[in-house]
Amino acid sequence: MKVVDFATTTNQEYWLKEIEKSDWRAAPYLCSVIRDNKLKELYGETTRVLLLVEDDRLVSFCTYAEQDEIPDPSLTPWVGFVYTFPEFRGKKRMGKLLEHVYSLAKKDGHKTIYISTEEVDLYEKYGFTFWKTMKNNWDEETRVYRMEIVDMDYGDIIGKEVSGTIDRPLGSSHPHHPDLVYLINYGYVDGVFADDGDEQDVYVFGTDKPIQTYKGKVVAVIHRLNDCEDKWIVSLDGTPLDRDMILQATEFQEQYFMGELYL
């Protein structure tokens, strides 16, 4: 799966028809706004429509917009028109879109992202917190959530020599989710505890065989945006690892979380 910007797609009418297949009344409105070239007029010049796609299938979509339905220009940017198709629900696919929005907002220099919604106990799963109830453009009350954008400092961790135990070796299955097979050795640092109270988790690179223990150097950290624990990336021989290599190798598990990679 990948996130694409609607504006850069080569078959825009196809994707508009895919959006219109949703069972949500806001989808046809979004499509009409796009077809009438009013998206930026209504929601801001930098507004984008983002699509999470799997080959030619539309999984989820949303907007990353300067403004949404709250008439307060001081609040920006907004996530809007968030929708996931029923067959993909329950797998936190929406998180990949929100993760992408987070990276765009951070690149644009923002400190906070907002969502206006009637949903309760949904966006909390993706790192958002309820802020307050506000009036929208139609004088209706809506719940506004926000998510802070942070810059983490791992200067005291990256480059650190660590050793520990592999409790989920390459090829093994997750103890509670048998369909999740570990494509890389996964374990923890002996004697170092994370924010969840358990020993610090690590992905260990540098071997294509299952192992029981390891010793190596931390070369990167995955900071999870919607979880209380980070994941350290360990290289057995200390060799720096390519960003894409790390993301691809850990996707089997990290696809269910929102995260940001620090090298």
Residues in the chain: 263
Is 179 found in the same domain as 139? no
Answer for the pair 78, 66: CB distance below 8 angstroms, yes or no.
yes
Q: Please provide the average confidence, as pLDDT, over all residues in the chain.
A: 94
Last residue of some domain: 115, 148, 181?
148
Is 176 found in the same domain as 102? no
pLDDT at position 67: 95
pLDDT at position 94: 87
Is 93 found in the same domain as 198? no
Task: Write out residues in the chain with pLDDT < 50, as ranges.
Answer: none
> Distances in Å between the alpha carbon of 138 and those of 71, 134, 229?
10, 11, 40
Is 58 found in the same domain as 114? yes
pLDDT at position 92: 78
In a domain, 173, yes or no: yes
Domain that holds residue 227: 161-262
Residue 111 neighbours by CB under 8 Å, 6+ apart: 148, 149
Is 136 found in the same domain as 36? yes
Is 59 found in the same domain as 171? no
The count of structural domains within the chain is 2
In a domain, 153, yes or no: no
Domain CATH for 202: 3.90.80.10
Last residue of some domain: 91, 120, 148?
148
